[in-house]
A and B are shown apart, each in its own frame.
Chain A
């Protein structure tokens, strides 16, 4: 089973600044990574698939990158609605699909 490790667990950033979230796979998963955003009391929302392809409605100031074992989610010009928990997920070696433990992006 592939382990996805996200860092940091919590990231404190001021509105208007840039947040960089990392996700590392225990072995290569090619570009088969998705990112999700989850706000309190809500279901997760797909942000990216294929590591860097935006899902419908995701703004250009949010970007995904990486391949192999290292992946990054970058959110620039942070807005209030961006503060949430973010999860990466691999779907290269399945089943099972595996998620990272999440990064909480909080307001500094």
Chain B
């Protein structure tokens, strides 16, 4: 079955970096756009970024532009989010999701906590 599994979350100090991974299975990963969405504790959903099938098309939300970098490795069926210059307001559960517009499959999320 279609499955997305995130990893790499944890506790990091302000200004620090973290790299999230998302392992995909059950579908042809290279055929799909992929996205990252986050959810701060007790809050709603915030779209962060998407990447095209080959990795050449990328967009970011203003809130993470210049600090976060999305990438993918189609040979490894994996999606990544490199997060630099982390701030307290980046504390959230980070989800990877399949799709560009409507997101039809989501991982279980990985928690990132930015705190000193």
Task: List residues of A whose CB falls within 8 A of some B CB.
Answer: 32, 34, 36, 42-46, 49-50, 55-56, 87, 89, 91, 94-102
Contact = CB atoms under 8 A, between A and B. Distances in A.
A29 B100 CA distance: 16
Contact of A34 (B46, B95, B103, B109): B103
Contacts, number: 59
B47 A34 contact: no
A49 B45 contact: no
B60 to A, nearest CB: 7
Nearest to B62: A96
Contacts of B61: 95-96
Interface residues of B, number: 21
A97 B45 CA distance: 10
6 closest Cβ pairs, A-B complex? A49-B102, A91-B101, A43-B106, A34-B102, A97-B47, A95-B59
Contact of B109 (A32, A43, A46, A97): A43
Given A96-B47, A99-B47, A46 B103 contact: yes
Given A34-B103, A97-B101, A99-B45, A43 B108 contact: yes
A99 B44 contact: yes
